[in-house]
Amino acid sequence: MGGKRRGKSTKVASGTDHITLMVNGNTYHLDVGSGPGEVDDAHTLAHTLRETLGLTGTKVSCDHGACGCCTVLVDGRAVLSCMTLAVECDGRQITTIEGLGDPETGALDPLQQAFIDHTAFQCGFCSPGTVMSSKALLAENPSPTVEEVKEALSGNFCRCIAHYQVIEAVMDASEKAR
C-alpha cells in the first residue's frame, strides 16, 4: 500500500514511468501502470489518495464533481480530487484534511477547531471537503465577508444542512486569525 517504490511501468504524457506526489509534507514516488500498487494513468487523485496512499479523510460522494466532498488543496488551491487525475499532480504540493493539523503537537488547525466549536457538521461526511474549501478561501482572503464565504463554499453540498454553522465557523476562524 505504501508508495515509495519504483519499477517498470507505462509512460505518462511527460514521458516518465513514475510520478512524485508531495502529500501533507511527505514525498511519494509512485509507479505509473496497471499493476498492483501502481497508479493507473486513469486513476483520479481521490482514488490515489484513498486507495494507494491510505489517506481516507478525503471523501468521495457523487464522484462527478458536484458535491465538493473530495476537495483537497493542490498548490494551495481547492480542487475536486474526483475530477483530477493523479498523473496531473506530478510534482505538486497536495494537502488533505489529514495534513492541516500540527504534526508535532497534534493540535488541530484553527479552522478545524472552529468547525468543532460551532458544531459545523452533523454526519461529518462533507466536512473534510468543506474545511479544505474554507482553508483555500482564508489563504486567499483572510478577511472574507459572509457573502464571500457563501460564494467560496457554493460548490460544497451538505445534505444535513449545517451550512449556517459552517459560515459561522469560517467567520470565527477568520476573526481569530487577525
12 or 157, which is more confident: 157
The C-alpha cell at 162 is 449545517
In 3D space, the residue among 121, 10, 117 whose CA is nearest the CA of residue 69 turns out to be: 121
For all residues of the chain together, what is the average pLDDT? 91
The pTM (predicted TM-score) of the whole model is 0.89
pLDDT band at residue 162, thresholds of 50, 70 and 90? confident
Please write the tens of the pLDDT for every residue from 134-154.
999 999 999 999 999 999 999
- On the question of pLDDT at 106 being above 80, the answer is yes
Residue 97 CA to its chain's centroid (Å): 6
